[in-house]
Amino acid sequence: MYYTVCYDIGDAKTRRLAVKLCKKAGLVRMQRSVFTGRAPAALIRQIEAELMPLLKDRNDSVAVQPMDRAAFKKMRFIGKRLHKKNLAGSRLIVFV
């Protein structure tokens, strides 16, 4: 499964943990607080479980968007060049 994880976290220590967990899951940074790529569901659940108790109720948020292969293939990038093959992990995937 493919995922996009976006976060808005005020505390620097918690933000660094979010980055570490996203990278550990195999996601690639698209923007400062946006990661995407192919990852096991268990690692995505770990991100949610570790960050949830650290988030400040009114100010912080984490959004996790699962995508199937078809939705991932339809994703378009405008501006900074990102290569889907780098975001998809080590598996062979063909984009049309």
Global model pTM greater than 0.85: no
What backbone torsions phi and psi does residue 63 show, to the nearest 5 degrees?
A: -115, 130
In the chain, what are the domains? 2-87 (3.30.70.240)
**Which residues does residue 8 pair with via DSSP β-bridges, in sequence order?**
61
For residues 42-69, average pLDDT: 94
Collapse the DSSP code of 60 into the 3-class scheme (helix H, G, I; strand E, B; otherwise coil) and give the result.
coil
pLDDT given for residue 78 in this prediction: 80
- CA 76, 79, 3, 87 dihedral sign is positive
Q: Tell me the pLDDT tens digit for each residue of 10-49.
A: 999 999 999 999 999 999 998 999 999 999 999 999 999 9
pLDDT given for residue 92 in this prediction: 38
Q: Tell me the pLDDT tens digit for each residue of 73-93.
A: 888 878 777 666 666 654 433
Distance separating alpha carbons of residues 38 and 22, to the nearest angstrom:
11
pLDDT given for residue 91 in this prediction: 43
Say which DSSP state 43 is in: H
